Amino acid sequence: MTDQKLQVIPLGGLGEFGMNMTAIRFGDDIVAIDCGMMFPGAELLGVDLVMPDLTFLKENQQFVRAVVLTHGHEDHIGALPYFLSEIDVPVYGTAFTLALVERRLEEHELEREPRLIPIKPKQAVQIGPFKIEFIHVTHSIVSAVALAITTPLGVIIHTGDYKVDPTPTDNDMFDLHTLADYGKRGVLLLLSDSTNSDRPGFTESERAVRPRMEEIFNRAEGRVVVACFSSSIHRIQLILDLSREVGRRVAVVGRSMVSVTEIAHSLGLLEIPDDILLRPQDAMGLPANKVTVLISGTQGEPMSALSRVAVDNHKHISVERGDTVVLSSRIIPGNEKAIFRMIDHMARRGADVLYGSMNPPLHVSGHASAEEMKLVLNLVRPRFFMPIHGEFRQLTKHARLAEHLRFAGLEDSFVMESGDVLEIDKQGARRAGKVPVGRICIDSGSVGEVVEEMVIRDRRHLSEDGIVLAIVAINPHTGRLEHPPEIVSRGFAVAEGDSDFAEAARQVVVKTLEGSNREEKADLGVMKEKIRADLKRYIVKETSRRPLIMPVILEV
């Protein structure tokens, strides 16, 4: 390519939720914006996370100069450990974002020490031909930034994820002035978050949550158990402040919740009142009306802290009659069954469970709605526009929102998908082919095995170690085992030819069931995970083989 061509290449996050990553290339220099992952759907058995295919960047790694991060959500930083194991470049981000990156990197043993370079809003850095200024934006996570990338052909504005919150709880306002200044000087291309483009109006301020929370804390007679996303530092601050006001102490429960609150506190982003924290193991010993539990697991993940509390399987915390449980989060599509099952368990114990849409709200989105998107479009007034971050219907709606700018200098909008190349030169902008993209499935349980195609992974797994089905018939009303478990195997010779082994495996399943309470047995997700884990442990110990283990639970 000639030196006077600018290429913008989304490698993930367009036409899908998650895996946000964009490469920007000018001549022989490339910067990557974000490096996210997504959680697998139910069809991706055995997969822990899904990340973008990095083939394009690996093939051009001598030109890759840096990764620049907009904020610390997993769908923007989750694939970094895998990226940095292949491509050694500096990573720029705010201190909080990089602290979350460090936490992820600790779980992986990289051969090279990562080069993490902290930046602050209003700061600018020069990376090859790109001068990048960081612009503070409001979002559901603290320390989020947009990027103004000055290239030899003009300025690219990348909003990252944002909403225009006029009254942020930390009073750190969205820097609309800097955005408007760039708009006045002229912006070549706007890349803007499309997540809520199908939602009219404005997204409510984070402060809108306080009235509902105040009401809950003032009327609750038992424990208050609040579940929210661990990255929602503003929400966590609100829970701590209200607990102090009403004389409650707070137990922080769940690995991610503990880790992120420690990071935020150490960076001065979370103020924890003196003597308010309570060890989880002491929470049940205090009067119920003196305790708040701040817990992770809003999406009903089978082994999360809140899911275990719901079925009375947590070592420190349980919910009882008179307790109030608050899900201060959105229900992510696809998780409805797991979340409502979890709510059912807690309601059965007599807890008052609050969730979903209310007015005043329990939760507000961190993404801009249509009117805020129009505001950003009007301030920036780009020559070209490319919606990012969202499924195709949201990208299309966002492009329609920009139509009114046709009379104010907007030449064209490009609704692209991951892998499409947008090429810009002095003559204008156009689509210019595709680069290889896709998803790579990571099964960290198998020593970081990277799986490019699930079919290949399953075929290899089945051909090497076979499959073991544990078939269990449970009465959903009594939780009783109706028939002895049946162990069926294919391609797993030990089980097929050794009746003693099969009988021992049966007993492992029986023991798992006997060690589970009735509510766990009624929760298929929890039971399948427990049976699979126990059976895997036994088979690996006895045979050093790792067959594909699939529990099948029949409700009879």
Which residue is catalytic, options 53, 75, 193, 523?
Answer: 193
Architecture field, domain 453-555: Roll (3.10)
Q: Could you say which of 3.40.50.12280, 3.40.50.10710, 3.100.10.10, 3.30.230.10 is the CATH number of the domain covering 206-354?
A: 3.40.50.10710
Q: pLDDT for 463-510, tens place per residue?
A: 677 888 889 888 877 777 888 888 888 887 664 556 778 888 889 999
Residue 471 CB contacts under 8 Å (≥ 6 apart), including other chains: 485, 486, 487, 488, 552, 554
Model confidence band, residue 455 (pLDDT cutoffs 50, 70, 90): low
Q: Is the pLDDT of residue 75 over 90?
A: yes
Residue 497 burial class via C-beta count within 10 angstroms: exposed 0-12, middle 13-18, buried 19 and up? exposed
Q: Is the pLDDT of residue 190 over 50?
A: yes
Model confidence band, residue 11 (pLDDT cutoffs 50, 70, 90): very high
Residue 193 a catalytic site member: yes
Residue 367 a catalytic site member: yes
Rounded Cα distance, 5 and 427, in Å: 10
Residue 520: predicted pLDDT: 82
Q: What pTM was computed for the model?
A: 0.82
Residue 414: predicted pLDDT: 97
Residue 499: predicted pLDDT: 72
Plot region of 222 (φ>0 → left; ψ -120 to 50 → alpha; else → beta)? beta
**CATH homologous superfamily, domain 6-201+365-441:** Ribonuclease Z/Hydroxyacylglutathione hydrolase-like (3.60.15.10)
Which residue is catalytic, options 158, 345, 367, 389?
Answer: 367
Domain residue ranges of the chain, discontinuous segments joined by +: 6-201+365-441, 206-354, 453-555
